[in-house]
Amino acid sequence: MCGICGFTQASPQDAPILKSMCDIIAHRGPDGEGIYIADGVAFGHRRLSLIDLTGGRQPMVRATADHSAPVTTPEPGITDGEMLTLEAGDYAIVFNGEIYNYRDLTDELRAEGWQFTTSSDTEVLLTGYLAWGEAVLDKVRGMFAFAIWDRPNGILFCARDFFGIKPFYYTVQNGQFIFASEIKSILEHPAYERELNREALEQYLSFQFSALPETFFKGIYKLPPAHCMTVHADGSLSMRRFWSPSYERNESRSLEQAAQAIDEAMRESVRYHNVADVEVGSFLSSGIDSSYMAACLAHENPDIQTFTVGFAEYKDERDEISWASELADLLNVENSSKHITQEEYWDALPKVQWHMDEPSGDPSAVALFFVDQLAAEKVKAVLSGEGADELFGGYRIYQAPLASSRLSGVPKPLLKGASALLRKTGLRGANYLERASEDVSDWYYTNANGVAFTVEERNRLLKNPVGAPAPQDVVASTYKEAAGLGLDQPSQMQYLDLFYWLVGDILLKTDKMAMAHSLESRVPFLDKEVFKLAATLPLDQRITPEQTKVALRKASSDSIPREWAEKEKLGFPVPVVNWLRDDENYLRVKEWFIGPEASLFFNTDELLNLLDEHREGADRSRKIFIVWMFLMWYRTFFVDRHAPYAIAPKGPRKS
């Protein structure tokens, strides 16, 4: 929906700083710009207008807490070289996201006597805070990151949504609280001096994404999902978790009944996620998640547009585009597609790392960059299928504990010994036996498990390792929470992914790649009511030794053909493995691996060994990609210190 930023200890003379913070994230909101500086608080906003196109401008200010008090918003439009300003009030808000049940909450608030000036979800959120205080977070249904200035209480109240769909970064510098939707906005504030967080680098090598509360920039943090934070008048911070996942398995409900309940919940969620004053499209791939979601959206609006990308290497095969095109014909909806060439992919890498703010070692982020670019040519919002795997049990790795249970009667020392022997002889089965000898908390710490670096490997790779904890130690408290909830081992893996893989990789690239093209990505699976239902599914309705997403597949069977409903999850098939074996690409990466940035952090001989081993047949592609993307990111943010390409000014887009 937009980009937000702001800081405390502000004065009117700080307007140029706020302007710079807004300008650097103009891609998040080309339709409007506003500023609020009063009482030592500065708020900036860039708007992508989707709801109440003329009345929902921000920052939004309410003079008093009187039920009939009107809100004040900036005048429409963006003036040349100037920011739109507001008068001071008792309450002000900047908000990024969508409150999908805002119409329901409007009716509830009106029944309590509150009056409204606009028909925007922003005003509903601000009014809800006035009416219910922090309890407004229990009532909203949507994705959000926001800050509210509460002058009567002398506090700044901030919050981030249940699953971390929308980002919220902050830092405290000499008592000054600074926040923004993107880190690059905070970097524009002169109080912050950029410094690399070397522990973040060390963990990134094992996770492939930024896994710690503190970002790659020393002193800049992420507000965790489902957390709110209060900045007090004395500059102190207090933080609390306002929502926690809870599970109550329904063992008495049949698979057919569970599937019907899922279908009803998903259709309701898609209906809410389709609320907008502009057209909402949908991504469409070969998998069940986007296929089912697009079918639900087509039921709401038969004229929807869908979007798909694939790779030129696969265009003569049955690839993502061929699957999506065929389903689009069956659903009678429009489908736009693009085959990405290898050179387009390489050229996009620096842009992707700049927009991501922190290095991402996930090759599929680049594919997402292109499908968002394609969608942004025709719509301002799209539905995307993120979250289905974590909620409904979609990753094949979740089946591993079920397979290991067959060896539960074998002594664990014997399994460990057999695993070591197989590994030494090079025979298959070593991983299977090793996992059977351990709990999932011993070996499953991220979805990148098996493709990223072990602690031993990263210590060999780094010139000066800082002795960061092992990844298992980083996630240990989350496993403890999961065990305390009485979750079985596959469910513990799902729980872990909610707080690491989903928020640190999947949702981050979803937001940043869409916003790079001034596009809003909405995720109907990550609705708190859908989660509530998914949390009731017993294990055999999520994962069996033979199948993943059991109940979800059943739920989708009336909406999409069986071939799509039962299709095995492939992830996004990016052909990086083969590309990196070409001489030209080998030399392309080698130039980075012997370059000045690499020599700062890594033993370059180890990097070159990875390249050579890969060219000779071993698959080292993900490890190579993880290091390469860090080097590219570091050059952008610490050497060049500007975007890696010329960015055209963002003007208002057609609705």
Q: What are phi and psi of 240, to 5 degrees?
A: -145, 155
Closest CA to 217 of 190, 196, 202, 191: 196
Closest CA to 506 of 571, 438, 593: 571
Amino acid at 431: N
Dihedral (CA of 403, 405, 406, 410) sign = positive
Closest CA to 511 of 388, 638, 381, 630: 381
Fill in the DSSP letter of residue 223.
Answer: P
Closest CA to 123 of 92, 145, 77, 152: 92
End-to-end CA distance of the chain: 13
- Cα separation, 618 vs 616, in Å, equals 6
Fill in the DSSP letter of residue 14.
Answer: G
* Residues β-bridged to residue 228: 159, 240
The answer to whether residue 2 is catalytic is yes
Q: What are phi and psi of 149, to 5 degrees?
A: -90, 120
Q: Which residue has the tokens 């301002």?
A: 380
Residues near 526 by beta carbon (within 8 Å), at least 6 away in sequence = 143, 162, 163, 165, 386, 387, 391, 507
- Cα separation, 185 vs 187, in Å, equals 5
Burial 381-391 (b: 16+ CB within 10 A, else e): bbbbbbbbbbb
3-state secondary structure 28-47: HCECEEEEEEECCEEEEEEE
Annotated catalytic residue within 2, 22, 158, 228 = 2
- Cα separation, 433 vs 436, in Å, equals 5
Closest CA to 200 of 183, 220, 178: 220
The strand pair at 334-340 and 305-311 is best described as: parallel
Q: Order of strands, edge to edge, in the sheet holding 71-72?
A: 71-72, 60-62, 91-99, 142-150, 155-160, 227-231, 237-241
- Cα separation, 567 vs 575, in Å, equals 20
Q: What are phi and psi of 196, to 5 degrees?
A: -75, 135
Q: Which residues are catalytic?
A: 2
